[in-house]
Amino acid sequence: MDAIILQILNGLDKGSAYALIALGLTLIFGTLGVVNFAHGALFMIGAFCAVTLSRLLSLSHEVAVPGEVDFLGNPAMRDQPYAYDIFGEAWGAHIIDWAVPLSILFAIPVMILIGVIMERGLIKHFYKRPHADQILVTFGLAIVLQEIIKYYYGANPIPTPAPEAFTGSFDFGALIGFEANTIIYPYWRLVYFAFAAIVIGAVFAFLQFTTFGMVVRAGMADRETVGLLGINIDKRFTIMFGLAAAVAGLAGVMYTPINSPNYHMGMDFLVLSFVVVVVGGMGSLPGAVLAGFLLGILESFASMREVINIIPGINQVIIYLVAIVILLTRPRGLMGRKGVMED
């Protein structure tokens, strides 16, 4: 029992990332009908927003240490981050420590801007072209974005730690009545899951309970009619693209402490996220979220030693295997709508 709970927990953080990326992909596909192969790159850019902010915050200059001299008799120097000057020593240290969560505030406008520029500048011209063209041009864009990041940040993973308060693990088993030390779970992964749940909830609430969301949902159902009613649906869809980019970016920001970001992390996630979207059903938002968590948890179960002993290598292929079975038996995916990309 405790092993099962542990595996479910282990699956949650990867599942959260899958779900967030798949949610964004589905938002873009459902509103604009575009298959966005550059979505993984957006996830990666989000992660590098966190890297950028934490570097910016720890920018420092040299100051003299009062009362100390080095061996030449000059005043001893030490690096002092600018953040200390602005916010004072105690607050400055806290801010640097909390760089990753603070990056959320930084990433949202940046990602929305990137998303809107992408949609207006490039994707807009591809609505009437075949899906294969959309796949190809966004694939090219993904390569370009990835290489730009590689140029500025190098090819090596950049460790970006979580705040001090969330490092380490806690005994989840003891909390829910199991023996101590059976279910140990890192704090940050729980934070990631909670964060993903909040973001997903916020997106759904936004679509469900605001007028803007209502119009967007109407546009997803029948774009032409909404347009005929005198609503500028294109503008709203552009904003939705920005929102989807922001969701992917946020997923990336918060993922940095779990996996040090490198330039190709987006591509690694993209392939799996597409599988997730297809399993969930093209164009179905709940389907994407459900399939994301489901596949994440399934993957973690498949990597249990007992399972690998029975079917070696299953942990590597389980997601693809599930995708193949689902696509062949339930062509619309788990919760796909009728009439969306049927063939």
Partner 1 sequence: MFGLDKKDASLLLVVAALVVFAPFFLNPFPEASGWAQFNAGYPDLMQRFVIFGIFAIGFNILFGLTGYLSFGHAAFLGVGSYAAVWMFKLLSMNVIPAIILAVIAAGVFALIIGYVSLRRSGIYFSILTLAFAQMSFALAYSVLTPITGGETGLQLALDDPRILGGLSSSDGNIPVPGLFGLEMRDSSKLVLGGWVFTFNFGYYFSALIMLLSFYLSIRIFRSPFGMMLRAVKSNQQRLNYTGVNPRPYTLAAFVISGMYAGLAGGLMASMDPLAGAERMFWTASGEVVLMTILGGVGTLIGPVLGAGMIKYMENIISKINSDILHTWFAFLPDGLEDAVVAMIYPFIGKGWHLTLGIVFMLVVIFLPGGLVEGGQRLAGLFRRKKTDESKTATTEPAE
Listed ranges 3-11, 54-62, 125-133, 184-192: which one lies at the site for partner 1 (CB under 8 A): 125-133
CB of 33 or CB of 242, closer to partner 1: 33
Three-state secondary structure readout of 216-251: HHHHHHCHHHHHHCCCCHHHHHHHHHHHHHHHHHHH
142 within 8 A of 270, measured Cβ to Cβ: yes
Which residue in the set 2, 201, 316, 330 belongs to the binding site for partner 1 (CB under 8 A)?
316
Number of Cβ within 10 Å of residue 155's Cβ equals 10
Name the H helices within the chain: 2-32, 39-57, 82-87, 89-97, 99-121, 131-153, 172-175, 187-209, 211-221, 223-228, 233-255, 265-280, 285-302, 305-310, 314-329
Contacts of 125 (CB under 8 A, 6+ apart): none
Which residue in the set 35, 107, 285, 295 belongs to the binding site for partner 1 (CB under 8 A)?
35
Q: How far is the CB of 286 from partner 1 (least distance, A)?
A: 20
Task: Please count the residues of the chain.
Answer: 343
Phi then psi dihedrals of residue 88, to 5 deg: 85, 160
Which residue in the set 130, 177, 230, 339 belongs to the binding site for partner 1 (CB under 8 A)?
130
CB of 307 or CB of 327, closer to partner 1: 327
CB of 186 or CB of 333, closer to partner 1: 333
Binding status of residue 147 toward partner 1 by CB under 8 A: yes
Q: How far is the CB of 304 from partner 1 (least distance, A)?
A: 16
Q: How far is the CB of 339 from partner 1 (least distance, A)?
A: 14
Report which of 3, 30, 9, 4 is spatially closest to residue 189, judged by C-alpha positions. Answer: 9
Which residue in the set 73, 177, 312, 339 belongs to the binding site for partner 1 (CB under 8 A)?
312
Q: How far is the CB of 143 from partner 1 (least distance, A)?
A: 3
Could you give the angle at the alpha carbon of 328 between the alpha carbons of 326 and 334, nearest 5°? 30
Q: How far, in Å, are 79, 210, 246 from residue 62 at the CA level?
A: 4, 51, 36
Which residue in the set 143, 174, 239, 340 belongs to the binding site for partner 1 (CB under 8 A)?
143
CB of 194 or CB of 311, closer to partner 1: 311
Task: Please say whether the dihedral angle defined by the alpha carbons of residues 238, 244, 247 and 251, taken in this order, is positive or negative.
Answer: negative
Total residues at interface with partner 1 (CB under 8 A): 41
Which residue in the set 3, 4, 64, 144 belongs to the binding site for partner 1 (CB under 8 A)?
144
Q: Which of residues 262-281 bind partner 1 (CB under 8 A)?
A: 267, 271, 274-275, 278
Listed ranges 66-74, 89-97, 137-145, 189-197: which one lies at the site for partner 1 (CB under 8 A): 137-145
Residues that bind partner 1 (CB under 8 A): 35, 122, 125, 129-133, 135-137, 139-144, 146-148, 150-151, 267, 271, 274-275, 278, 282, 312-313, 316-317, 320-321, 323-324, 327-328, 331, 341, 343
